[in-house]
A and B are shown apart, each in its own frame.
Chain A
Amino acid sequence: MKPFTYERANSPAAAAAAAAARPGAKFLAGGTNLLDLMKLQIETPAHLVDVNGLALDKIEPTGPGGLRIGALVRNADLATDARVRRDYGVLSRALVAGASGQLRNMATTAGNLLQRTRCPYFYDTHMPCNKRLPGSGCSAIGGINRSHAVVGVSEQCIATHPSDMAVALRALDATVETVRADATTRTIPIADFHRLPGNTPHIETALQAGELITSVTLPPPVGGTQSYRKVRDRASYAFALISVAAIVQRDGTGRVALGGVAHKPWRVEAAEAEMPRGAKAVVARLLSGARTTHDNAFKLPLAERTLAAALAPGSTRS
């Protein structure tokens, strides 16, 4: 790990200003992804701004009847909150489908959104990777890419976003609230928060330098039967090959978001009009224009079957 200087922030605005003032500075919250990447020298921040002392660890009701989740609420605490389990079951289920018990006690809401891809070439510093070293090339294209993205890919990157939580937040139309280095705040819809790789796969979110996530807000509950189904190579503690967050209403309408298929949680609202006609029709719209490789083409039928299971009557299990 490269040496770095360290400070504890006193307020969100001060943290944003401190991070913006130091080139190469990073926020430190749960640390579960950042420290791993620092050990491998994939991340080499010269300065860490520890935000753990900020009072951003509450889950509070909002005026319109939703929930505001503090950026520092740990994944386990968010999954356990009685309001989340009752009204936003897809979020609770997505959270417990990810990582391990220990990591869910550490990882934060904001950090979960900001975690980086587990593409093995991103992690291997001896291999070209446009995300890690822009312009060096993509080793996954033409390499071992069974776990990689099938939609929204570019010639520069076919990595997936690894988060389960973000897939549920996309289905729930959550928003991300931030504070910038000049102390101004803004709200970013989750749909616009993560970016597709395009020609700049190293730029993964809409955040500006020093911009700090302060909370994630859930709109009022939408009801329905909520499920999160995750298909992976082992039954627990593995990243998704395919995951489906589904909210199904009694009349068969609803919402669907996929994980494991793209550089961001994947939802196409127009495809949801097909829900009463079943999984095949939905996935045809949802994954239209897919660009698969020899090794990951299985994800298209797997997405359809996983969605079919999620849409089956009585499906709430993850």
Chain B
Amino acid sequence: MNCSDDLTITRRGVLLAGCGATAAASLPTSAAAQGAATEAPVTARVTLDVNGTSHALELDTRTSLLDALREHLHLTGTKKGCDQGQCGACTVLINGRRVVSCLSLALMHDGAKVTTIEGLGTPGSLHPMQAAFVKHDGYQCGYCTPGQICSAVGMLDEIKRGVPSHASGDIAAQPLLSAAELRERMSGNICRCGAYSNIVDAITEVAGGTA
């Protein structure tokens, strides 16, 4: 390609410019509607154990765990989808439990053990769930995949611990490992490419193939 500098416009640049224009245009309305004055950012210290490494950070109090991972620790395997807790792309494990990192402040997890997709396995040594997603083609574009895999790992642990679900016939019994259970329990992870059936196959294999 042979572009002159003033024609080299990246898609990200255009999006940023567009967002800025929108924000500026809507600012008077929202400021008036909420009646809140703009104040200076506040920072605070937090220590996170991410994938076995301790990180001492000084962060704007508003920083979500997701943004701390991506923007401050540069662990970009965890994806930002909706940023509203609806899509599950940002799912990570905190002390072994799956959560959506977008609806959590980094400050809430001082001293906690965070496991991201980078901590589950490496390209040379895949986690069994990662290997199963590859084997069963459990993705198309791959954007939801890190969240799907972290969620699936946390979910199988929940079944092992006897956590019931909406698909459980007898709420007091040990949950079964059926396809209906896996689908219900994975409903917090959206795949817009629609790889769901292969995702269920991948999880089923890791779970022991009893579904």
Contact = CB atoms under 8 A, between A and B. Distances in A.
Contact of B103 (A41, A101, A106): A106
A2 B171 contact: no
Nearest to B88: A102
A79 B172 CA distance: 10
A80 interface: yes
Contacts of B172: 82, 85-86, 89
A2 B61 contact: no
Interface residues of B, number: 52
Interface string B151-189: 100110010011111101111100000000001111111
B162 to A, nearest CB: 6
B99 interface: yes
Nearest to A24: B36
A32 B61 contact: no
Contacts, number: 132
A79 B103 contact: no
A interface, how many residues as a size bin?
35 or more
Contacts of A2: 36, 38-39
Given A4-B61, A39-B83, A89 B151 contact: no
A80 B164 contact: yes
Contacts of B104: 31, 35, 106
A165 B91 CA distance: 24
B116 interface: no
Contacts of A48: 61
A306 interface: no
B188 A52 contact: no
A195 B154 CA distance: 37
Contact of A101 (B30, B151, B161, B169): B151
A127 B29 CA distance: 11
Contacts of B115: none
Interface stretch (A56-64, A92-100, A297-305): A92-100
Contacts of B184: 235-236
A41 B166 contact: no
A76 to B, nearest CB: 6
B33 interface: yes
Contacts of A133: 33-34
B88 A44 contact: no
B131 interface: no
B39 A236 contact: no
B103 A32 contact: yes
A52 B29 CA distance: 35
A236 B162 contact: no
Contacts of A236: 166, 183-184, 187
A44 B37 CA distance: 10
27 contacts: A2-B39, A3-B60, A5-B42, A6-B107, A28-B108, A38-B62, A41-B30, A50-B107, A50-B108, A76-B163, A79-B164, A89-B171, A89-B172, A92-B164, A93-B166, A96-B168, A96-B171, A99-B188, A100-B188, A100-B189, A101-B187, A102-B88, A102-B98, A102-B151, A125-B34, A126-B29, A318-B166
Given A2-B36, A80-B163, A101-B98, 11 more contacts: A3-B38, A3-B61, A6-B42, A28-B108, A52-B108, A100-B88, A101-B165, A101-B185, A101-B187, A103-B85, A235-B184
Sort A-B residue pairs by CB-CB distance and give the 6 closest, nearest first: A100-B188, A236-B187, A237-B187, A85-B172, A6-B61, A44-B36
